[in-house]
A and B are shown apart, each in its own frame.
Chain A
Amino acid sequence: MIVAEQKSLEEIRRIIAPYEKVLLLGCGTCVTVCGAGGEREVAFLNSALRVAQAKSDDGVHNFSEYTVKRQCDFEFLDVLVDKVNEVDTILSLGCGIGVQVVAERFPDIPILPGVNTSFMGMAKEWGVWDERCAACGDCRLAETAGICPITRCTKGILNGPCAGTKNGKCEANKDMDCAWILIYKRLERLHQLEKMRRYYPPRNFRVIPRPRRIVMKADIEQGEDNG
């Protein structure tokens, strides 16, 4: 899932400053799971903003809130049409994709991001999320025992550990495991160490040319227009 962190109240107050009526828009998918922008967080933020406003004595904003099932898909945004007409801006607590889909759907209203979209990852334990995939477009997990060297090695290198690893940890952060030690141990366990002995050439950063787009191949063959 996509992992995000809510922006500080201070930054949120700064970016909404020019607008009077603000719709706080949550998303019911990834950011709900990671506790950055679901229904609960929208309600919390609403109260926090009101309290901050009352304290600072500049009661200029008018907040409303709503959470859609998914912000990253046009079909879930239709319910917003009337609400959008009544506000001056939308503060989206969706990920960066959600923010942009909302912007594309409602071209006439400013959209602001309420979270910092951080990475794609998993809940390692309660309250701790770790990155797992950078969407490189050329997945090599078959060769690395299911452990991604691109995200989990600080340098994203492909031919084995650097010399900086110590105690199984990464030279950049003593609390984080060295990906290449993990890969080695798991390959050994699976009797697949020959995969580590192989030479891996430099990455192709143009697997999908940027800006990246994927067009469903079956649709092309059938002559369908997929936008």
Chain B
Amino acid sequence: MANSLFEEKLNSNGFLVTTEIGPPKGADVSEMVHCIDLLKDKVDAINVTDHQSSVMRFPSLGGCLLVKECGGEPIIQVTCRDRNRLALQADLLLAYSRGIKNVLCLTGDSVDVGDHKEAKPVFDLDSVQLLKMARGMESGKDMVGNELKGTPQFCLGASVHPEADFIEPQLIKFEKKVIAGAQFFQTQGIFDLESLKKFMQYASQFNIKILAGIIVLASARMAQYMNDNVPGIIISQAIIDELANVEKGKGLQKGIEIASQFIRTIREENLCHGVHIMAVGKEGIVPDILEAA
């Protein structure tokens, strides 16, 4: 039996669509709630990011509770950057007790890229160990073997970077994540469908679902900025040029067009099991993208 609505969909053969919301910097969640309302019926699940890019914000767990309250299906992003193994287990217990069962297990960006650069980086665990920890809790025991009151069950996901400029070590880690218990993967941003195809040739041997990460670009400048500053991102010159060649003010429209085209191709050519749309800061355009796709 599936643990969550999203897991049920993972087990079906439909094309999956997820997206993500970055919680606000502050306690005013009205805009976020508005976003959730806009998205919840258009996608299969909504990720809530965990201090994305190491910028302090309203917590992922709190955001997932809001998604729940609004009647949506949340995926909680959990990183190892800020919490040690006690806090991570505790947060998963809380999440489970409140019906948040989809967990995306991430290592987390380094503190150095964020807005609290002097903070202590925790990284008591890494993403593979976090997956194993969550799976372990499903046996009714905590990490050191003590009995838990009540046994949580999760639907576990992880991330993978098919366009990493040095792919082999990433694939080794990917396989470790599969073995550790990941059921689904949301990839880092895909900007070249050839690399997705190549990755899927390798990944299809595993019994997991792959959702291709789609980052919506609003301008050539944003693309260049992400290339220079966002960990791991590699946007091809072709896409940057395409964005640079549109009229002023039409960048976002072009970005939506590119994203929709990608999604359509992925679905029509059955390249992988779904997409994960990342439009953080402009979550409102996700319905337009889906419409266009």
Contact = CB atoms under 8 A, between A and B. Distances in A.
Partners in one complex: yes
A209 B272 CA distance: 48
A160 B161 CA distance: 13
Contacts of A180: 169
A203 B124 CA distance: 7
A157 interface: yes
Contacts of B219: none
B85 A163 contact: no
B53 to A, nearest CB: 10
Contacts of A171: 109-110, 112-113, 231-232
Nearest to B111: A172
Interface string A161-186: 11111111011110000001100100
Among A158, A172, A184, chain B packs the most CB atoms within 10 A around the CB of A172
Contacts, number: 104
Among A156, A166, A203, chain B packs the most CB atoms within 10 A around the CB of A166
Interface in B154-183: 159-161, 164-166, 168-170, 172-173, 175-176, 179-180
Contacts of B170: 160-161, 163
A62 interface: no
Given A165-B164, A166-B234, A181-B169, A160 B176 contact: yes
Interface in B96-155: 107-113, 121, 123-129, 132-133, 143
A202 B136 CA distance: 13
B39 to A, nearest CB: 25
B113 A172 contact: yes
A30 B124 CA distance: 31
B108 to A, nearest CB: 8
B174 to A, nearest CB: 9
B172 A197 contact: yes
A83 interface: no
Given A166-B234, A171-B232, A202-B85, A157 B168 contact: no
A59 B107 CA distance: 55
A163 B232 contact: yes
Contacts of A154: 110, 112, 121
A155 interface: yes
B188 interface: yes
Contacts of B232: 162-166, 171
Contact of B107 (A157, A173, A201): A157
A129 B143 CA distance: 38
A159 interface: yes
Nearest to A168: B166
Interface of A is mostly: loop
Contact of B132 (A184, A199, A205): A199
A109 interface: no
Contacts of B173: 159-161
Contact of A202 (B124, B166, B172): B124
Contacts of B108: 155
Nearest to A160: B173
A197 B232 CA distance: 22
A193 B173 CA distance: 12
Contact of B112 (A163, A167, A172, A199): A172
B110 A197 contact: no
Contacts of A193: 172
Contacts of B172: 160, 184, 193, 196-197
Contacts of A159: 126-129, 173, 176
Given A162-B110, A163-B161, A166-B231, 18 more contacts: A155-B81, A155-B110, A155-B121, A157-B107, A159-B173, A160-B173, A160-B176, A162-B107, A163-B232, A167-B165, A171-B109, A171-B232, A181-B166, A184-B166, A184-B168, A200-B129, A201-B132, A202-B133
Closest 8 CB pairs of A and B: A164-B231, A160-B173, A171-B231, A157-B126, A172-B112, A163-B161, A172-B110, A184-B169
Interface of A: 154-168, 170-173, 180-181, 184, 188, 193, 196-197, 199-203, 205
